[in-house]
A and B are shown apart, each in its own frame.
Chain A
Amino acid sequence: QVHLRESGPGLVKPSQTLSLTCTVSGGSVSSGGYYWYWIRQQPGRGLEYIGYIFSAGNTYYNPSLQSRVTISLDTSENHFSLKLSSVTAADTAVYYCARDAYGDYGGFGPWGQGTLVTVSS
């Protein structure tokens, strides 16, 4: 059974770059034809889709964040990463990584536990 775990700094200064890693165990990020996602949840609010990287390396980003987001795959470490540049207080959120459940139509299956990132000086 695949497990995902987010890690990274819990505090980022405004205008800097937020960097998070999602470590995958119980499966390979580069095989199986899976989509690996980032999703965030601002405090007390709903869920916002950030984007994905496919196991072959293709990416897609939410247009609302596209100019600031990069998602990458590290097959040697079996993890994938999120970088969000020029952050502001509005980027304060719990960030989740997830994998598709049943292809790109079937929802988000396994999730990490989430990691809170606060943007503050």
Chain B
Amino acid sequence: DIQMTQSPSSLSASVGDRVTITCRASQSISIYLNWYQQKPGKAPKLLIYTTSRLESGVPSRFSGSGSGTDFTLTINSLQPEDFATYYCQQSYSTPMYTFGQGTKLEIK
């Protein structure tokens, strides 16, 4: 299986900050990397697919980049509703998908 490693595991930031979350794959996954946001008690929500494509309705302060093994999710100007847990997921090795362990973004 392709292993996905996110860093950091948790992060404290303030409203208005710019934050970056990193996801590293154990082998090249080209651009087949997706990002999800999960709030407590809710299902994950797709934010970005194939590295950099913003899902419909997702604010433009969210962006993704990378290729191969290293990827980043950037959130510009953090809003109160952005405090959540973020997961990356590789879809390169379809039909077997794997997730990162998650990054919890908390209010400082």
Contacts and interface: CB of A to CB of B under 8 A. Distances in A.
Interface in B78-108: 87, 89, 91-92, 94-102
B96 A63 contact: yes
B53 to A, nearest CB: 8
A80 interface: no
Contacts of B44: 47, 96, 108, 111
A52 B95 contact: yes
Contacts of A102: 49-50
Contact of B101 (A46, A60, A98, A111): A46
Contacts of A107: 34, 36, 46, 49-50, 89, 91
A109 B45 CA distance: 7
Contacts of B99: 46-49
A contact face: mostly helix, strand, loop, or mixed: strand
B32 interface: yes
A70 to B, nearest CB: 16
Nearest to B95: A60
Interface residues of A, number: 22
Contact of A106 (B43, B91, B96, B101): B91
Contacts of A63: 96
Interface of B: 32, 34, 36, 42-46, 49-50, 55, 87, 89, 91-92, 94-102
12 contacts: A47-B99, A49-B97, A52-B95, A98-B43, A106-B34, A107-B46, A108-B34, A108-B36, A108-B44, A112-B43, A113-B42, A113-B43
